[in-house]
Amino acid sequence: MRYLEPVFRPPSEAGSYILQVTYGCSHNRCTFCSMYREKTFRVRDENEVFEDIREAARVMSGCERVFLADGDALILRTDRLLRILDQLEQHFPRLARVAIYSDARGINLKSDEELLSLRERKLGMIYLGLESGSDEVLRRIQKGATASEMTEAVRRAEALGIPVSVIGLLGVGGRELTEEHARQTAQVLSRMSPSFFSALTLTLVPDTPLAKDAEAGRFRMLTPEESLEELARIIVDVQTERPVVFRTNHASNYVPLKGTLPENRERILEAIAWALKNRALKPEWMRGL
């Protein structure tokens, strides 16, 4: 099995076989992100991918979950994805779910029929980085999609039976836009009603455009406490059509939280308030990307 590092995966894919089907990110312009800055986006050779699948099957034949990397692998043509999924099902008889990163474009460029065919081949989770529900924040961080485009993508996938895990980024609006970021992120999440919502906390990565803006005084970071207060405002305002599993299990966060919204709203808010009152926050040296 061959990898072009660095390789990233969501926390909940820790036990999955990671299969790179693309290298890098086709957008790769988000001002806060350094994950794929060192990679030029390209589609990996199909025969090489199939060779990796066969090799992996020899050492992990009991594999039940696979994560397709890199950054937005759903951008691949559907026929190519279907061939990869067929190979995975052929070589991993216990395969239960395949997951993938995507942006709004990766979903919205595919027809309902294409998405259904992927679901039938066990595509069972899409991870999508919303970051913010504010179009002004999205414009500033050069996300490459509007809140409405991402809402359409999530609602379409969910309606077709493909669960989506939506990722929000605490602090990405800075102090200037923290109120707008929290309010509009809650509004967009309410309209999306995704199966899962996870929050990450902004970490400035050296040499990224956002880090340079902070150094020049054009962007003012929230304190850890302000980031948690921002999260609390989001949790208060989210009103989804159905239960949403909520997590802050990413290494960037100051407090690990979990629950289901809206059922566990008060318990989550109480946990945030307790952490703020008792300053029970993860130290900086324990945080990561």
- Does residue 284 have a pLDDT over 80? yes
Answer whether 198's CB lies under 8 Å from 249's CB: yes
> What is the three-class DSSP state of 242?
coil
Give the closest residue to 69 by CA, choosing from 31, 37, 98. Answer: 98
Give the closest residue to 17 by CA, choosing from 83, 74, 116, 96. Answer: 96
Residue 112 belongs to what H/E stretch?
Answer: helix 112-120
Cis peptide before 70 (omega within 30 of 0): yes
> Which of the four pLDDT bands, split at 50, 70 and 90, describes residue 289?
low
Position 184, amino acid: Q
Answer whether 222's CB lies under 8 Å from 252's CB: no
Mode of pairing for the β-strands spanning 258-261 and 244-247: antiparallel
Out of 3.30.9.10, 3.20.20.70, 3.40.50.1100, 3.40.50.720, select the CATH number for domain 11-284: 3.20.20.70
Mean pLDDT, rounded, for 128-139: 98
Give the closest residue to 2 by CA, choosing from 79, 69, 73, 65. Answer: 69
What is the reported pTM? 0.95
Q: Give pLDDT tens digits for 45-60.
A: 999 999 999 999 999 9
How confident is the prediction for the chain on average, in pLDDT? 96
Mean pLDDT, rounded, for 14-27: 95
CB within 8 Å of 95: residues ≥ 6 apart: 63, 64, 65, 66, 88, 89, 122
Answer whether 125's CB lies under 8 Å from 93's CB: no
Q: Give pLDDT tens digits for 221-244.
A: 999 999 999 999 999 999 998 999
